[in-house]
Amino acid sequence: QKEVEQDPGPLSVPEGAIVSLNCTYSNSAFQYFMWYRQYSRKGPELLMYTYSSGNKEDGRFTAQVDKSSKYISLFIRDSQPSDSATYLCATRSYTGKLIFGQGTTLQVKP
Amino acid sequence: EAGVTQFPSHSVIEKGQTVTLRCDPISGHDNLYWYRRVMGKEIKFLLHFVKESKQDESGMPNNRFLAERTGGTYSTLKVQPAELEDSGVYFCASSQVKGTGELFFGEGSRLTVL
């Protein structure tokens, strides 16, 4: 079983739609959860970072962690074509290394 | 401030050849990481340097891979001899603080082994 599971998509939505991206993880000891965004031919860049359970909001982006169900979500409101990218969920092991999901490719059509 | 830079951006080699990838971290970042993404799979950790010391190399696939960080600045990752399954994108990342410090990734070095 993978430590972090993520549906690779692709996911295609019209501009302005609300996007929901999700991951599950297996180890209940994980405490730090991240969403990275990766544009084509670029490296991942940190989008959102949360600790333990709860919500975190940054502009059009909301990250949500439910530790009881080991579920991580990223919501994008009023999606824009510039949001088209691969979104990677990740958690951090106790040694500090990142454990990534496979990434979901999102396309927002104008 | 310059970000993490990686060289080459793309390398095409034949099976059995040697390739060396280079990473220049952000100046002042003691922590340097190598990750790899092979086709259709998730990005996976390879190893972690703190300055010039290997802190964690549990992700290195086998002894054909050798990573160095002499002087605690730039790092190299050598694959010798390369195999077909080594094809993928190799990412380098650096951070100032271990643990919860944000990792800054380079654009990656794409390796194609024919």
Q: What residue in B sits closest to A2 (Cα-Cα)? A: B42
**pLDDT in the model for residue B99:** 59
Report the residue of chain A nearest B97, measured CA to CA.
A96
CB contact under 8 A, A97 and B42: no
A99 shares contact with chain B (CB less than 8 Å): yes
A106 pLDDT above the threshold of 80:
yes
pLDDT at residue A34, rounded to an integer: 94
Asked whether A100 and A91 are in contact (CB, 8 A), the reply is no
The residue in chain A having the minimum alpha-carbon distance to the alpha carbon of residue B93 is A43
Identify the burial level of A79 via C-beta atoms within 10 angstroms of its C-beta, where 0-12 means exposed, 13-18 middle and 19 or more buried.
Answer: buried
Per residue of chain B (114 residues), what is the pLDDT tens digit? 689 999 999 999 999 999 999 999 999 999 999 999 998 899 999 999 999 999 999 999 999 999 999 888 999 999 999 999 999 999 999 998 765 678 899 999 999 999
Are A39 and B96 contacting, i.e. CB atoms less than 8 angstroms apart?
no
Option in B43, B48, B102 nearest A100 (CB): B43
pLDDT in tens, A11-28: 999 999 999 999 999 988
**Average pLDDT rounded to a whole number, residues A50-71:** 92
Set of chain B residues whose Cβ sits within 8 Å of the Cβ of A41: 107-108
Q: Check pLDDT > 90 for residue A9.
A: no
Q: How many CB atoms are located within 10 Å of the residue B12 CB? A: 13
CA-closest candidate to residue A25, choices A104, A94, A89, A97: A89
